[in-house]
Structure 1
Amino acid sequence: MNHAATPRKGPLSRFTILDASRVRAGPTAIRTFADLGARVIKLEIPPGAPGGDDMIGGRDHNRADYENLHRNKESLTLNMKEPEGLAILHELVKSADVFIENYRPDVKYRLGIGPDQLRQINPRLVYASISGFGQDGPYANWPGFDSIAQGMGGLMSVTGKPEDGPMRVGIPIADLCSGHFCAQAIMAALLEREVSGEGQWVQTSLLESQIAMLDFQAAQWLIDHKVPKSTGNEHPLTVPTGVFQTRDGYINLAAIGNNMFKRLCVALEIPVLIDQPGFGSDPERVRNRERVNAAVGTAFRQRSTAEWTEILLKAGVPCGPIYTVDRMFEDPQVKHLGIARTLQHPELGDIEVVGLPMNFSRYPRQDGPLKAAPAQGDQTGQILGELGYSAERIAELRSRCVV
C-alpha cells in the first residue's frame, strides 16, 4: 500500500497507523501521531453493519469533541467480522507500523486480530492495547470507563473538599493519561524496532495510568504509609497554596517553602507572620493551615486580582488568575503560544481545535495545515484502490456492508 496521496509534513510522517480504537483513550494516543505527520487510518464499522459506535467521542454525540479528537486522520469503514473484511485488514497490516485497539481483552482474539495473529503477518508491527484494568487478572473483562478508573485509582479520594466526599476531576483524566502513556510506549517500541528489527505488543490500562498519575500522593502511602486525604484547592504538603478571594474575584497562589512564604508576607504587607509561632516551616504551617490561610486571606481581600498578581510576580511569588475557558483562550500568552489551531471544515467552515502542545524547530506549527476529522468512510475508496481493489469490487463490498 502506498502512503497517502499528499504526504503530510512532520517528524513521524514515515509511519502508518491502523486505529481500531474508539471513544477517547486510544484516539487520544493516535492523535499525537496524526498531528506529527503520521498517516492514521481510522477503522470504523460500516453503515448498516451491527455494532456501530454511539458512545461518547462518536461523531454524532458531540461534534466539537469529535472534530478535536479525530483531526488529521483518514476513515476506512471495515467490518472485521466478515472474512473479506478481515482479509482487507491483513493487507493493510503488511505495510503498517502500528495497530492500536481498546476492546475488552477477549474481543480481539474472537475477531482474529490479536497481537500474535497480526504480527505473524508483519513481525515489525507494533501492536498497542489499552484496556480498563489490564489484559488479564480478576478485573480484566470489566468495562473500562474514565470515572470508574478515577475512583478505583485513588484520584477521587484526594480531589475536592473533605466535607464534600469523593470528587471526580473535571476532565476524563484517566482516558487522556492512558492515551498519552500508550503513545509513549508506541514511540519507545518504534525506537527499539530500529535496533531489533521487530515490533512488539505494548499495553497500558486506565487503572494503571491513573495510579501512575497519583505520583507523590501514591508515594505518601508506599513509602511513608500515610493515607493522603483531600485538601480542596490547597496543596497537602505546603501552606499557603491554592485559591484565595480578592476584592473582585480569586487568585491562585503557590507559595512553596520558607523563602517563598517570607516573600509573600512582605508583599502582602503582613511581615509579622514570618516570625509567628507555628508558621516557621511547611510542616508547621500544614498543622496550622486554618490560621495561616485566615491571615493571608484577610490581606488578599484588600486588592483586586490584577493588582495582587502584579505585586506578587514582582516579588517572585508564583500566582495567577483563574480563568473560565473562554477567558483562558483570550489571554495574551495563550494567544502568543498558538495552542488554538484553525482548520478548514467542509461543512462548518473555519473552526478551531486544541493543538498539540509540542514545538519542533524544524517542523513549525504553521507547516502542514490541519485536516478536518473525516466523515465516516471518507477514504474507503482511496485506501482500497491503493490495495488494488476495482471500483466495481468496492461497490459490491459496500452493498454487503463489508466496507
Structure 2
Amino acid sequence: MRNALDGLTVIDFTQIGAGPTCTMLLADMGARVIKVESPAGDIGRTLGPGWVGEDAALFHGFNRNKLGMALDFKKPEGLAIARRLIATADIVVESMRPGVMQRAGLAHSQVAAQHPSLIYCSISAYGQQGPYSQRAGVDGVLQADSGLMSLIGTPDGEPCKVQAPIVDVTTGYLACIGILAKLQQRSRDGRGGHLDVSLLNSALALQQSSITSYFADGEPPVPSGSAAPYSAPNQAFETKDGWLMVAAYSVERWAALCEVLDLRHLEKDPRFATSPLRVANRDAMTRELTVAFMRRTADDWIAPLQAVDILCAKVTGYTDIAAHPQVAANAMLPAVEVPGFGKLRMPGFPINSASVNATGMNPAPQCGQHTQSILRELGCDDEEIASLAKAGAVFSPQEEATVALADAS
C-alpha cells in the first residue's frame, strides 16, 4: 500500500482537518503531496492544547508524509507559481470557501482546458452549489446542522458532539475514495474531472441507519447515551470498577447473558421477549442488568461473557489504548520522529496497518520547509527565488534564518 500511488503528484491547498486527512491518506499510499500554506501557516498549527514545539499536535496528526511550501497566491508572483504547481499535478485538493479559487483563476473550470487529465477535488462545508454554499463551517457546526448532534448525549442533557472531529475525518476519507475512483476512470479514458465533497454530505452519510429509520416511521431519534436505538441490550453497563459495553441482542446471546448474570427469569419476562421489546422497555431492562453487573469488576465479567460468545469490551481511555495489545499488534500507533521534539505517536494508516506503518512515517513539514527545493524543481533559479521572497509571494525557514543571521551581524 505504501507504494500504491508512487509517481502521482498532489497539490494540497487545504487546511485544518478534512482536506489534510484526504491528502495525508494519499501521501501514506505513496503519492508526492505538496502542502501549500500561506506564509502565516495552516490554521491547524494553532489549534492546541496539545503542542509539538510551536505547532499544535493536531497539525501533526493530519499532515505526515507531505512536503511543505509557503505561498501567497493573492500576490501576482505567488499566483503564477500556483499555476506552475498545478501544471505539474495529477491531483489538486482544495478546501477554500466556494468562489475563492474561482476569483484567483485557479478553479477547476479555469484550469481543466489546459490540464484535461487533472483530478480536482473541492472540499467545503456545504457543497459548491445551493443556498448554503457560501457558508463557512467546521466539524462541530456540521455536527449540529446535520442532525448528528441530536443523536449524542442523554435525553435530559445539553447538546453534545463527538469530541474527535469525526465529520472532518470522514469527509477526508470520502474525498480520498472519490479521488481513487477518478484515478481508475482516468486510467480508462485519460480524463480527470471535478469532485465536490462536503462536510454536510459526509455528516449525513454517517447517519445512514438513523436517518433511514426516521423516514421509515417518522419518529425523530432521542439521545440514548451509549445505547443503540435499534437493539437491546447494546450499551454500556456500570460495573464494580468501571463501564462495560455489551452487545447481546440476538435471541441466543440474550439467553446466554441471562444465564451468565444469573437472571434466568428475565429470559421469560414478556417485557424483554424480543430486541424491539427490550428497546421499548430499556430503562427497566437496564435497572435489572445493572444490579447484576455491579457485583463484579469489568475485567471479571469479560471472560465468562466471551466464553458464551457475548460481544463486550471495557470502556477504555487513551491510557489504555496506549498499552492495548491488539493496537500494538496492528502497529496502529507508529512513532514519528519530529525534529526538535522526539518521537510522536499517532494513529497510522488503517489498511494493512501492520505492514504499512512498519515502514516508517515522515513528520509533518515546517511551514515552508521545502519551498526552495520545490521552486527549483519548477525551474526557478536563486535570483527568481530571492525576488519571490522579497515580494512576499513565498516563504521558507531558510530565508528567515538568513535574515536573522544578517541582522545579528
Q: Please say whether Structure 1 and Structure 2 have the same fold, judged by a TM-score greater than 0.5.
A: yes
**Which residue of structure 2 aligns with residue 160 of structure 1?**
153
Residues 103-123 of structure 1: per-residue CA shift (max 9 Å, x gap) = 110111111111111222211
- 255-264 or 55-64: bigger deviation: 55-64
Q: Distance in 2 between matches of 1:70 and 1:247?
A: 42
Measure how far apart 1:224 and its partner are.
2.7
Q: Distance in 1 between matches of 2:137 and 2:43?
A: 16
Residues 267-307 of structure 1: per-residue CA shift (max 9 Å, x gap) = 11211111112111011111211111111111101111111
- Contact conserved, 2:44 with 2:56, CA < 8 A, in 1? no
The one-letter code matched in structure 2 to 1:175 is D
CA RMSD of aligned residues (A): 1.9
SS in structure 2 of the partner of residue 136 of structure 1: coil
**Which residue of structure 2 aligns with residue 400 of structure 1?**
391
Q: Distance in 1 between matches of 2:272 and 2:262?
A: 16
Q: 1:1-400 counterparts in 2 under 5 A?
A: 9-46=2-39, 53-54=42-43, 63-359=56-352, 364-367=356-359, 369-400=360-391
Measure how far apart 1:257 and its partner are.
2.0
- Contact conserved, 1:80 with 1:89, CA < 8 A, in 2? yes
- Contact conserved, 2:17 with 2:44, CA < 8 A, in 1? no
SS in structure 1 of the partner of residue 285 of structure 2: helix
- Contact conserved, 2:330 with 2:353, CA < 8 A, in 1? no
Q: Runs of 5+ in structure 2 lacking a partner?
A: 395-409
- Contact conserved, 1:24 with 1:57, CA < 8 A, in 2? no
**Which residue of structure 2 aligns with residue 4 of structure 1?**
none
Measure how far apart 1:236 and its partner are.
0.8
Q: Distance in 2 between matches of 1:56 and 1:221?
A: 39
TM-score, normalising length from structure 1?
A: 0.92
- Contact conserved, 1:13 with 1:38, CA < 8 A, in 2? yes
Residues 41-79 of structure 1: per-residue CA shift (max 9 Å, x gap) = 0011125xxxx5445666888521111211100011112
- Contact conserved, 1:22 with 1:57, CA < 8 A, in 2? no
- Judged with a 3 Å threshold, the aligned counterparts in structure 2 of structure 1 residues 311 and 360 are, in CA distance, closer, same or farther, namely closer
Q: Runs of 5+ in structure 1 lacking a partner?
A: 1-7
Residues 370-399 of structure 1: per-residue CA shift (max 9 Å, x gap) = 111111111111111111111121112111
Measure how far apart 1:364 and its partner are.
3.9
TM-score, normalising length from structure 2?
A: 0.91
Q: Distance in 2 between matches of 1:211 and 1:191?
A: 26
Q: Distance in 1 between matches of 2:262 and 2:90?
A: 61
The one-letter code matched in structure 2 to 1:310 is A
> What percentage of residue pairs aligned between the two structures are identical?
33
Measure how far apart 1:9 and its partner are.
5.0
Aligned residues: 390
- Judged with a 3 Å threshold, the aligned counterparts in structure 2 of structure 1 residues 388 and 173 are, in CA distance, closer, same or farther, namely same
The one-letter code matched in structure 2 to 1:139 is Y
**Which residue of structure 2 aligns with residue 3 of structure 1?**
none
Q: Distance in 1 between matches of 2:349 and 2:271?
A: 45
- Judged with a 3 Å threshold, the aligned counterparts in structure 2 of structure 1 residues 61 and 178 are, in CA distance, closer, same or farther, namely farther
- Contact conserved, 1:40 with 1:74, CA < 8 A, in 2? yes
SS in structure 1 of the partner of residue 34 of structure 2: strand
Measure how far apart 1:178 and its partner are.
1.1
